[in-house]
Amino acid sequence: MEFLKAVTVQQALELILATPVKPEMEMTGLDEASGRVAAEDILSAEAIPGFSRSLVDGYAVVAKDTQGARETSPAFLKLCGEVRIGDVARIRAAEGSCVLVSTGSMVPEGADSVVMQEYVRALEGEVEVTRPVYVGENIIYTGEDVGEGSVVIARGKRIGPFDLGVLAAVGAARVKVFSRPRVALLSSGDEIVSVEERPPFGKVRDINRHTVAALLRASGADVTFTGLVRDTIEDITEKLTASGEYDLILVSGGSSKGERDHITDVIEKLGGEIILHGINVKPGKPTIFGRIFGKPIFGLPGHPVSCAMVTVRFVLPLVRSLMGEALRPPMTSAGTLTTNIPSSYGFEEYVRVKIARDGGRYLVTPIFAKSSVISSLSEAEGYIVIPEGIEGLEKDELVEVYRFE
């Protein structure tokens, strides 16, 4: 494929997400399930709650006995017992009577509502109710939270902390999840040194390795750094071959059309194919995507911001697909631009932004910085997308901010 015969963003995503995916599955304990993707629909074998429960401390009553009750003319009910939390209700709340209950107590048969204790005056053997209640008030009924046989977590859903509470409630101590995709990450370039080193004059520390790995791990991938790659055919061949066992290979740097950028040559030499080389985006145009050893491979731009933005926009959707995760919309917020933003016609442009609240609205301020300025990402809370068919955005325009998750 001719270099920089760039495709559109939509074409790029279609080509990337057309990658054949058949993720492995495994069982995991509940405490290890957060952040994993459910590999099957998880059903509840029982109703939750398993019995009707009181939501407050008070008195279980028949609602019609309280109609018309008020401070100056209370309803008088006979107290016929108490149901403590954790006990089985063995008494019945008949008309004209009530039963003392606590939050979480089983609601006795016959009662259809619970009066909060704040609206009851206890007397000797009876109570005064000072306000009416309606049928069902302050009660959660059997199966109202989760119905028996219902799907509590759908296949393809990323399991979050709140989902763990649901799984615990239905007794799902172990769940089937998709295995984490194993990603090989390489950094390419003679100018790159490890973060532990003080760079000699003319060289730079490896920024992309740590930024990209963190983005991938936050999405659930298992990332292994497989080495610094020097700008020689021999070293690139050796390092790519050693990474062939992984589910996805990422190489940062070496995607531009320079004399020593040999990534595309080596991919083809090893029997792989280049599916695209160049996407109409800014930053990140010289992105490579292909296949090698039957696995997807990305050649990411070397500039830190370009590399990070391509990872967010194009690599992470594939990683989520490799994890079996169902397609989900990105997290966005609407806000008002504080200044004009010029852009390059013909490119989809990503502009990092800060967000500030101003009364009932958000103000969005762009961070203008070159694609090698990593601090611009550290300052940003998200980014906006300027479509390729326009020449910029104007102050006070309403924009959609894609949040960095």
Sequence spans of domains, the chain? 9-24+180-322, 25-48+144-178, 53-140, 332-403
Residue identified by tokens 């559109």 is 8
| Cα–Cα distance measured from residue 405 to residue 402, given in angstroms and rounded to the nearest whole number | 9
Is a pLDDT exceeding 50 seen at residue 1? no
Q: Which CATH class is domain 25-48+144-178?
A: alpha beta
| Domain over 53-140 is classified CATH 2.170.190.11 | yes
Strand order in the sheet with 273-277: 222-229, 182-188, 248-252, 295-300, 288-292, 273-277
Tell me what pLDDT residue 189 has.
Answer: 86
Residue 279: name the closest of 262, 296, 300 by CA: 300
Residue 4: name the closest of 307, 385, 291, 301 by CA: 301
Q: What b-and-e string marks burial along 89-126, b requiring 16 or more CB atoms within 10 Å of the CB?
A: bebebbeebbbbbbeebbbbebbbbbbbbebbeeeeee
Residues contacting residue 176 through CB under 8 Å, at least 6 positions apart: 25, 26, 27, 38, 39, 40
Is a pLDDT exceeding 90 seen at residue 190? no
Is a pLDDT exceeding 50 seen at residue 93? yes
209 CB neighbour count, 10 Å cutoff: 22
- Length of the chain equals 405
**pLDDT tens-place string over residues 311-369:** 999 999 999 999 999 988 888 999 999 999 998 888 999 999 999 999 889 999 999 88
**pLDDT tens-place string over residues 111-147:** 999 999 999 999 989 999 999 999 999 999 999 999 9
Tell me what pLDDT residue 376 has.
Answer: 86
- Side-chain-side CA neighbours of 329 within 13 Å: the count stands at 5
Q: Which residues pair with 248 in a beta bridge?
A: 183
Superfamily of structural domain 332-403: MoeA, C-terminal, domain IV (2.40.340.10)
Q: Are 301 and 283 in contact (CB under 8 A)?
A: yes
Tell me what pLDDT residue 202 has.
Answer: 84
**pLDDT tens-place string over residues 387-405:** 988 888 999 999 999 998 7
| Cα–Cα distance measured from residue 293 to residue 304, given in angstroms and rounded to the nearest whole number | 27
Q: Which residues pair with 126 in a beta bridge?
A: 78
Residues contacting residue 335 through CB under 8 Å, at least 6 positions apart: 355, 361, 362, 363, 364, 398, 399, 401
Tell me what pLDDT residue 391 has.
Answer: 85
Please, which pLDDT band fits residue 255 given cuts at 50, 70 and 90? low
Q: Are 54 and 103 in contact (CB under 8 A)?
A: yes
Integer CA distances (angstroms), 6 to 1, 9, 284, 318, in order: 10, 9, 11, 19
Q: Cα-atom radius of gyration of the chain, to the nearest Å?
A: 30
Q: Which fold has domain 9-24+180-322?
A: Molybdenum Cofactor Biosythetic Enzyme; Chain A (3.40.980)
Is a pLDDT exceeding 60 seen at residue 296? yes
| Cα–Cα distance measured from residue 405 to residue 397, given in angstroms and rounded to the nearest whole number | 24
Q: Are 338 and 328 in contact (CB under 8 A)?
A: no
